[in-house]
Chains A and B, each alone.
Chain A
Amino acid sequence: MPALLEAHGLVKHLGGRRVVDGVDLVCHAGQVLGLLGPNGAGKTTTLRMLYGVLTADAGTIRFDGVDVARDVGRFKRQLGVCTQDDTFDGDFTVRQNLEIAASYFRPRPTDVRRRTDELLERFALASYAADKPEALSGGFRRRLMIARALVHRPRLLFLDEPTTGLDPQARVAVWDLVNGLRAEGLGVVLTTHYMDEAERLSDALTVLAQGKVVAHGSPKAVLGDMLGEHVVVLEADGVTMPAVAAWLATHGLGEPFAVLGAWHLPLSAEQLADFARAFPALRYEVRPPNLDDLFLKLALVPWAG
Chain B
Amino acid sequence: MGGLTAAFDWQSRAVVGRHLRVYLKNWHTSFLPPALEPITLLLAFGLGLGAYMASGLEWHGRRVAYIDFVAPGMLAYATFMTAVFQSLFGAFIRMRYQRTWEGQLTTQIELRHVVWGEVLWAALLTTTYVAIVALVLSACQALGALHLQLALLPVILPIVFVSACAFAALGLCFTALVPTIDHMNLPIFLVVLPLGFVSATYFPLGHPVLAALSTVNPLYHLAESVRGLLLGDGVDGHLIGLAVLVVLMVGALVPLDMHLLRKRVLGD
B185 within 8 A of A: no
Max chain B Cβ within 10 angstroms of own Cβ: one of A88, A100, A101: A100
List chain B residues, Cβ under 8 A from A51.
Answer: 106
Q: Are B10 and A76 neighbours in the complex by a CB distance under 8 Å?
A: no
Q: Are A89 and B98 neighbours in the complex by a CB distance under 8 Å?
A: yes
B86 within 8 A of A: no
Q: Return the contact of A103 from the options B18, B25, B99, B268 (Cβ within 8 A).
A: B18
Once bound together, how far apart are the Cα atoms of A87 and B266, in whole Å?
15
List chain B residues, Cβ under 8 A from A213.
Answer: none
Q: Are A54 and B266 neighbours in the complex by a CB distance under 8 Å?
A: yes
Q: Are B10 and A106 neighbours in the complex by a CB distance under 8 Å?
A: yes
A95 to chain B, nearest CB (A): 13
B21 within 8 A of A: yes
Once bound together, how far apart are the Cα atoms of A86 and B102, in whole Å?
9
Q: Are A76 and B100 neighbours in the complex by a CB distance under 8 Å?
A: no
Q: Are B266 and A89 neighbours in the complex by a CB distance under 8 Å?
A: no
List chain A residues, Cβ under 8 A from B110.
Answer: 72
Given contacts A53-B266, A104-B11, contact A89 B106 (CB under 8 A): no
A81 within 8 A of B: yes
Max chain A Cβ within 10 angstroms of own Cβ: one of B10, B14, B266, B268: B268
B17 within 8 A of A: yes
Given contacts A54-B268, A87-B99, contact A76 B18 (CB under 8 A): no
Mask of A101-130 contacts with B, CB within 8 angstroms, 1/0 = 101111000000000000000000000000
Given contacts A53-B266, A89-B98, A100-B21, contact A76 B108 (CB under 8 A): yes
Given contacts A89-B18, A89-B98, A91-B25, contact A101 B107 (CB under 8 A): yes
Given contacts A14-B267, A100-B18, A103-B18, contact A87 B108 (CB under 8 A): no
**B100-150 interface (Cβ within 8 A of A):** 100, 102-110
Once bound together, how far apart are the Cα atoms of A149 and B103, in whole Å?
10
A83 within 8 A of B: yes
Q: Are B98 and A91 neighbours in the complex by a CB distance under 8 Å?
A: yes
Residue of B nearest to A97 (CB): B103
Once bound together, how far apart are the Cα atoms of A87 and B108, in whole Å?
15
B10 to chain A, nearest CB (A): 6
**A1-36 interface (Cβ within 8 A of B):** 14-15
Q: Are B100 and A104 neighbours in the complex by a CB distance under 8 Å?
A: no
Classify the interface of chain A: helix, strand, loop or mixed: loop
Q: Are B106 and A103 neighbours in the complex by a CB distance under 8 Å?
A: no
A85 within 8 A of B: yes
**B66-109 interface (Cβ within 8 A of A):** 98-100, 102-109
Q: Are A83 and B108 neighbours in the complex by a CB distance under 8 Å?
A: no
Q: Are B14 and A103 neighbours in the complex by a CB distance under 8 Å?
A: yes
A160 to chain B, nearest CB (A): 10
Q: Are B22 and A83 neighbours in the complex by a CB distance under 8 Å?
A: no
Once bound together, how far apart are the Cα atoms of A105 and B107, in whole Å?
7
A261 within 8 A of B: no
Mask of A147-163 contacts with B, CB within 8 angstroms, 1/0 = 01100000000000000
Residue of B nearest to A85 (CB): B99
B27 to chain A, nearest CB (A): 13
List chain B residues, Cβ under 8 A from A104.
Answer: 11, 14, 104, 107-109
Given contacts A14-B267, A48-B266, A104-B11, contact A87 B18 (CB under 8 A): no
A271 to chain B, nearest CB (A): 43
Once bound together, how far apart are the Cα atoms of A4 and B212, in whole Å?
63
List chain B residues, Cβ under 8 A from A89.
Answer: 18, 98, 100, 103
Once bound together, how far apart are the Cα atoms of A77 and B107, in whole Å?
7
List chain B residues, Cβ under 8 A from A252.
Answer: none
Q: Return the contact of A81 from the options B99, B106, B268 (Cβ within 8 A).
A: B106
Residue of A nearest to B15 (CB): A104
A46 to chain B, nearest CB (A): 14
Q: Return the contact of B108 from the options A48, A77, A91 (Cβ within 8 A).
A: A77
Given contacts A101-B107, A149-B106, contact A15 B267 (CB under 8 A): yes
List chain B residues, Cβ under 8 A from A53.
Answer: 105-106, 266
Q: Are A83 and B14 neighbours in the complex by a CB distance under 8 Å?
A: no
A90 within 8 A of B: yes
| A–B Cβ pairs within 8 angstroms, 25 of them | A14-B267, A14-B268, A15-B267, A48-B266, A53-B266, A54-B268, A55-B268, A72-B110, A73-B108, A76-B108, A77-B108, A81-B107, A83-B102, A87-B99, A89-B98, A89-B100, A89-B103, A91-B25, A92-B22, A100-B21, A101-B103, A101-B107, A103-B14, A103-B18, A106-B108
| In the A-B complex, the 9 residue pairs with the closest CB atoms | A87-B103, A104-B107, A81-B106, A87-B102, A91-B22, A87-B99, A76-B108, A104-B109, A90-B98
Instruction: Given A53-B266, A76-B108, A87-B99, output 7 extra A-B contacts at Cβ < 8 Å.
Output: A14-B267, A48-B266, A54-B266, A73-B108, A77-B108, A91-B25, A101-B103
